[in-house]
Structure 1
Amino acid sequence: MRSPHVRTRTRVIGVLLTLALAIPLTVLATLAPSSSAGAATTPAGPKAAGVKLGYFTEWGVYDRNYHAKNLDTSGTAQKLTHINYAFGNVQGGRCTIGDSFAAIEKSYTADQSVDGVADTWDQPLRGNFNQLLKLKKKHPNLKILWSFGGWTWSGGFGQAMQNPEAFAQSCYDLVNDSRWQGLFDGIDLDWEYPNACGLSCDSSGPAVMKDMMQAFRAKFGDQLVTAAITADASDGGKIDKADYAGAAQYADWYNVMTYDFFGAWDAQGPTAPHSPLTSYDGIPIAAFNSDSAIQKLKGLGIPANKLLLGVGFYGRGWTGVTQAEPGGTATGPAPGKYEQGIDDYKELKGKCPATGTVAGTAYAHCGNQWWSYDTPQTIGGKMSYAKQQGLGGAFIWELSGDTADGELMTAVNNGLG
């Protein structure tokens, strides 16, 4: 894609060369194009340093009863550097609001509100957006990005990328809408997966990732532009399907989804940790681990400080399991509070405490159930790894899985320093 600024810069440079012999250098300096003139094509320098990012889900305000205030009362907000609000949708080639009731309409009473002030029926903005604005006021160093897509809502990216500039413009207009001015500091693009299959399949070609990030950097300028990306490091796997290396120059960082490697979608097992840090003897797929993903991405030339390590605040589990160690057979997914085969850490730590560790993460065998999840101790190990590898930091999917006093977020914060 050619930038509209390319030809302008060429003409300016030609004029400068013509006049160079006659005009003093001090004058030439005033004629030179400013850095902002090239903003549309200027790659992003590595900004990630000690990033502690958490995804806050839009739907968490319903069954999970998890609100912006919980980020404050748990002590989590003061330990985060960034929040990704998940998710906006991608429909008809455009970014759209996911659930407008939760985002901008839901009314909060005084006891539910971040600042203890109740919403009124006639105020122009309510919902999560207003509460997060209040959270930013209380924690002024906190940055918030609006994340679009996710597993369920990634199907619209392929159509949207038929016109990258129009797609980026629609997202910019929505993220920076005057109704919630000052809320968002940028955008996170969670396409699962460019030129590969997730819930649906895309066949846009490998260049689509680079094209997308270039278009969004051109439109968003100095605002944050990030992406959640696959951790499938297998030969011919999802990392190989798209130009993540070419796209990285336009991204502030990548959220590498180093979790959900294994789970009870394989109902009969073998049981395996869903977020192993490293490989281990008996792992069902050798390249399905965090370190393999990080090393493959670094090997492509992506700067380490543009990679964030993903940590799940939840576990995945099977039932019908008799073997305590990984690799056992099962009969199906274990029951979870909201969905089969998955449950929050705050639920699991009490009902099925960890009984062992493997590959830098924890597992638990209780009755006929087998679960894997991260604990404060294993998160400490993962944060040490992130620092040793020179990564930009870590991110969490997702914040509502933590305890009321934020013990996992405390481990992330302490581990990264």
Structure 2
Amino acid sequence: MPLGAMVALASPAQAAEEATATFVRASDWGSGFEGKWTIRNTGDTTISGWTLKWDFPTGTKAGSAWDASLSSSGNTYTAKNLSWNGTLAPGSSVSFGFNGTGSGSPANCTLNGRPCDGSGGEVPGDAPPSAPGAPTAGSVTDTSVKLSWGAATDDKGVKNYDVLRNGSTVATVTGTSHTDTGLTAGTSYTYSVVARDTAGQTGPASAAVTVKTTGGDGGGNPGGKHINLTYFTEWGVYGRNYHVKNMVTSGSAEKLTHINYSFGNVQGGKCTIGDAFAATDKAYTADQSVDGKADTWDQPLRGNFNQLLKLKKMYPHIKVLWSFGGWTWSGGFPDAMKNPAAFADSCYQLVNDPRWKGLFDGIDLDWEYPNACGLTCDTSGPAVMKTMAQAFRNRFGDQLVTAAITADGSNGGKIDSADYGGASQYLDWYNVMTYDYFGAWDKTGPTAPHSPLTAYPGIPNQGFTSDAAIQKLKAKGVPAEKLLLGIGFYGRGWTGVTQKEPGGTATGAAPGAYEAGIEDYKILKTRCPANGTVAGTAYAHCGNEWWSYDTPATIAGKMAYAKQQGLGGAFSWEISGDTANGELVTAMHNGLKG
């Protein structure tokens, strides 16, 4: 569609009704576009409020909007005026915009129920349905709740009902009852119901009811005494289209105990924000938002931080930490550690900034790697890890202070390069990165699982296993309960492989959606299903590709290992690689219970 092409070209002379709406692509950058709607009052009376609806073809989507409240149901989008731009005098106009993807054009456009070209037409029944009766709960179990409610009324008839759990739709049903399943024992959930009429209009929500499932440990911790933590990546809101709300709709939020928001940067001796737009500025529409409420243009905090605050309100058991560093941004740690107290204070001030008060429960330090080589090589000395941990504990007090650390258990390897044992007395726990042992950076192989739990005959490097790392850390004095086992929600793979079993030769990295040699579990489970296991993890040979990754079954085995070893729990990198129904988080949760 050429830049500036219009969908509706009505003139006031044609208008049998009161207004027209026209659409243009204000800009187009190939991978996305800026859409702009202009609403004009073509009548001789003032308009008090407007609602614009249109359809996009499959493959074209509207995202964040400004100067309007935008929601969607399937391919149908509804934009409504904000408090300050709903009144239009005769001859005046108002515009709003949104970011979109795809090449399609709007269709079936209506403005306040009439065609957008001003050609007239009957106004459909404008009255939305009434609120349904307040739901009542019956047959409450450890994992399910049966809900019933009184029917709503509507002049055109009620089509169906949306059942909302903690503000997010979990089911759409035609009757007046629903059994919500897959819940966590001993956990409270708040339910309400919204009716939809045959014209597609939704009415007000019913009164809410809060129900607590039976069982559980009584402590509000879905993992019992074990930690089930995941990393949520800041950049995932872009190409991956993974947002905080996905943790709710997948059922993962109720099963997680902690979320590490990654990553903040380390620059100039200080902690700094990573991507301010994603963290604090990105506007969320009602359908994208955790609680179903759209961001407004003038609210002080938007983005991931506001969505995480909403998540914590719904799931008060969840603790959120801000993780700093990571593979790409670890280069700032050596300079920052020239003044550990000042470094820790800068991080404390940022983590506890009043703008996002109540969001973060602590900090996670992801230095890859102190006194060892990662993206670059560091020569800070073996004491630097302990010095850093002590400085951060002194500044953060009772808040959580954790660290993501190497899992290189080889003799003279990265664990031997720093005083992880001495540092552990100041830290709440370590996230031991027990993955990425082997991959297509060795482009000719041999093929090997990237996250082996134990050694196996033919393993390319001794000490490159989860168990070797755990045992070495224990031997250095790290308490078992301060160790979390790492689970990768992705696979690593090669191409040009003819051998099904590990140890085959390859010609290079297998193709991946974002980077060669790596792919999300949610893709691999159908693209290249696992057909073997080795060393407690899975592998797959399909065509000429060879992949390794964890499945719900292998995760169950790893969780059993974590409990047998007395570990504090487990963590995952990172949650957008899981399926839409959160099957990997669920496997970790189920394996850690008890």
Fold equivalence (TM over 0.5)? yes
The one-letter code sitting in structure 2 at the alignment partner of 1:117 is K
Summarize deviations over 1:27-80 as a string: whole Å, max 9, x none.
Answer: xxxxxxxxxxxxxxxxxxxxx940000000000000000000000000101000
**Structure-to-structure mapping, 1:4-403, within 5 angstroms:** 49-403=225-579
Give, in whole Å, the separation in 1 of the partners of 2:314 and 2:592.
Answer: 23
- SS for the counterpart of 1:75 is coil
State the alpha-carbon separation in 1 of the partners of residues 584 and 330 from structure 2: 28
**SS of aligned partner of 1:95:** strand
Q: Which has the higher strand share?
A: 2
1:236 alignment partner AA: G
Q: Which amino acid in structure 1 is aligned with residue 433 of structure 2? A: M
Per-residue Cα deviation, 1:351-402 (whole angstroms, up to 9, x for no partner): 0000100000000000000000000000000000000000000000000000
Mapped partners of 2:280, 2:376: distance in 1: 29
Task: Give, in whole Å, the separation in 1 of the partners of 2:517 and 2:235.
Answer: 19
Q: Give the deviation of 1:201 after TM superposition.
A: 1.2
Contact preservation (8 Å) 2:422, 2:477 = no
Partner-residue secondary structure (3-state), 2:327? coil
- AA aligned opposite 1:193: Y
Distance across 2 between alignment mates of 1:201 and 1:53: 29
Task: Determine if contact 2:450/2:549 at 8 Å carries over to the other structure.
Answer: yes
**Secondary structure class of the residue paired with 1:155:** helix
Kept in 2: contact 1:49–1:305 (CA 8 A) = no
Q: Deviations over 1:173-228 (max 9, x none)?
A: 00000000000000000000000010011110000000000000000000000000
The amino acid across from 1:328 in the alignment is: G
Q: 1:201, 1:145 → 2: CA distance?
A: 27
1:376 and 1:240 map into 2 onto residues whose CA distance is 32
Identity %, equivalent residues? 79
Q: Contact between 1:256 and 1:308, CA under 8 Å: does it hold in 2?
A: yes
Which structure 2 segments of 5+ residues have no match?
1-223
Q: Assess if the C-alpha contact under 8 Å between 2:280 and 2:306 holds in 1.
A: yes
Match of 1:124, SS state, is coil
- Alignment deviations for residues 103-124 of structure 1 (CA, whole Å, 9 cap, x no partner): 0000000000000000000100
Q: Matches of 1:333 and 1:411 in 2, distance apart?
A: 29
Show CA shifts across 1:84-130 (max 9, x none).
00000000000000000000000000000000000000100000000
Could you state the TM-score of these two structures normalised by the residue count of structure 2? 0.62
Match of 1:414 in 2: 590
Instruction: Say which SS state the counterpart of residue 254 (structure 1) adopts.
Output: strand
d(CA) in 2 for partners of 1:240, 1:286: 15
Which ranges in structure 1 are unaligned for 5 or more consecutive residues?
1-47
Distance in structure 1 (CA, Å) of the matches to 2:466 and 2:317? 29
Aligned position for 1:14: none
Aligned residue for 1:280, secondary structure, equals coil
Q: How far apart are residue 327 of structure 1 and its match?
A: 0.2
Structure 1 residue 277: deviation in Å? 0.3
Distance in 1 between the 2:416 and 2:395 partners?
27
- SS of the aligned residue for 1:101 comes to helix
Distance 2:500 2:557 in 1: 22
The one-letter code sitting in structure 2 at the alignment partner of 1:143 is K
Q: Could you state the TM-score of these two structures normalised by the residue count of structure 1?
A: 0.88
1:69 & 1:258 partners in 2: Cα distance?
28
Aligned-pair CA distance for 1:301: 1.2
**Partner of 1:395: helix, strand, or coil?**
strand
CA–CA distance in 2 between the matches of 1:387 and 1:140? 25
